[in-house]
Structure 1
């Protein structure tokens, strides 16, 4: 069985390839794709089949997906191009005879009010119509917060627009492990897994957890959505991305990034990393 992982040069893709290897999949049975294969040369050095795939160049996809049995379609990053890129990849998977595709969607893609949800739900619909598929509806990444720790510790403030909404976040490594399980075991076709950590938190609680771990008081400052977007752009975040992040916080305030499904723990067979554990690891 050959398993293709798209966007293998990205953080989630890399971790998924590693998770497949850890689960005992032979390196030669994994195809890692990227627009720039020089970024995944280390995988080739370990025996993984490295191939170039650019969703914006359909002619690159037949060779990339040739011989594949299962494929992990990792959502692309540019919202305006996402649906078209995904459709080209799905069409190529159909042509290559792929038997099952797992897609990294977003939590509650079918009901979410976020800016990003329509691109994910449209991809899900297109995929369901064409191939046996599994929707990995990933929640927020804990790394979205731990990457901010240097600035948060300097300022003493964690800013956001999520109010007291509950967030079920997990690490990329946990989501990658879930993807590896789905790619290597049976019984997942037709499922939509709502994935998130079991220890849900508000941003007020997250600030308290950072305070405990760092030994320094951190306050959560809740801002209006527009003000939070301005804060992000002022810190150098591109305007489009700032709007997406601020809009996600708005949805968080409505509990749209919360799940009690337990799907992540059931898939990976262990508790997901907690916010406290992720903070501690980032501060080491």
Structure 2
């Protein structure tokens, strides 16, 4: 049985590989990465490092050859780019005779008003149409995505948001990585959809939990999307990123991430890392820089 992870040098992919290497022999593991030189650490641990680029399907034919179970970690970029790249990966998996595909999707993808949902809807559809057994890992939201806001609070700023009072199912990337590794390497996950959502909290509740970790009150400043965009520009975010971060706030505000589910516990066999503990880890990592 040969397992392969795409994007294995990224933040999530590297964590998935660390988890897999704890329980799966290295000679059963392969990775597909755009720049193999960035995966030398994995190669030194006995992992089969293959070059694969979602923009060049011919490289994926070689990368996926002989693979039984595949984890496609969703790529970065605009919606059209991601749809095209994911389609290339799915088609290559079918040509290679892959027997199982796990894919990192987004919360409630098939019914979502999330502005980032279209690539995931298209990719889930493409995978289903291959007839290959699958598991869709509908990741809610990484707690690490709030690192910039946490850094702002540590510098004395309020918690700024335009997301209103709707809730999000934050969890640490480590929890998502362990879930992905469990599905890729485990049995009984064929044709499943997992809504991987932590306990739901509002922005105010998240800020309150961060205040408990830091031992201080954190004011929450609810602003309009336009005001949020200006604040983000003032923090130095590139112009092309502004619509993305504003879109995230809008998606949270319209309830896209307010998905109640115990699928995390089903897959992990444990509760997700508590919010305060996750925030403490992120604060410690920031302060250790």
TM-score normalised by the shorter chain: which range applies?
A: over 0.9
Q: Mean Cα displacement is larger for which, 209-218 or 7-16?
A: 209-218
Q: Which residue of 2 aligns with 1:42?
A: 41
Spell out the pairing of 1:101-140 with structure 2 (5 A cutoff): 101-130=101-130, 131-140=132-141
CA distance in 2 between partners of 1:218 and 1:153 (Å): 10
CA distance in 2 between partners of 1:263 and 1:230 (Å): 37
The residue matched to 2:58 in structure 1 has which SS? helix
Q: Which residue of 2 aligns with 1:195?
A: 196
CA-atom RMSD in angstroms: 1.3
Q: Mean Cα displacement is larger for which, 142-151 or 211-220?
A: 142-151
Is the Cα–Cα contact under 8 Å of residues 153 and 218 in structure 1 kept in the other structure?
Answer: no
Is the Cα–Cα contact under 8 Å of residues 75 and 104 in structure 1 kept in the other structure?
Answer: yes
CA distance in 2 between partners of 1:119 and 1:136 (Å): 14
Q: Please state if 1:17 is matched with 2:17.
A: yes
Is the Cα–Cα contact under 8 Å of residues 115 and 251 in structure 2 kept in the other structure?
Answer: no
Q: Which residue of 2 aligns with 1:76?
A: 75
Shift of the alpha carbon at 1:147? 4.6
CA distance in 2 between partners of 1:212 and 1:170 (Å): 18
Counterparts in 2 of 1:135 and 1:173: CA distance versus 1, 3 Å: same
Is the Cα–Cα contact under 8 Å of residues 8 and 32 in structure 2 kept in the other structure?
Answer: yes
Shift of the alpha carbon at 1:254? 2.7
Shift of the alpha carbon at 1:216? 2.4
- Give the count of matched residue pairs: 282
Shift of the alpha carbon at 1:148? 3.4
Q: Deviations over 1:122-163 (max 9, x none)?
A: 111011101221110001100011353222221331111111
TM-score by length of 1: 0.95
CA distance in 2 between partners of 1:71 and 1:55 (Å): 14
After TM superposition, where is structure 1 displaced by more than 4 Å over at least 4 residues in a row? Answer: none
Is the Cα–Cα contact under 8 Å of residues 35 and 54 in structure 1 kept in the other structure?
Answer: yes
The answer for unaligned runs of 5 or more in structure 1 is none
Spell out the pairing of 1:130-209 with structure 2 (5 A cutoff): 130=130, 131-198=132-199, 200-209=200-209
CA distance in 2 between partners of 1:34 and 1:20 (Å): 17
CA distance in 2 between partners of 1:190 and 1:230 (Å): 44
Counterparts in 2 of 1:46 and 1:173: CA distance versus 1, 3 Å: same
The answer for unaligned runs of 5 or more in structure 2 is 285-289
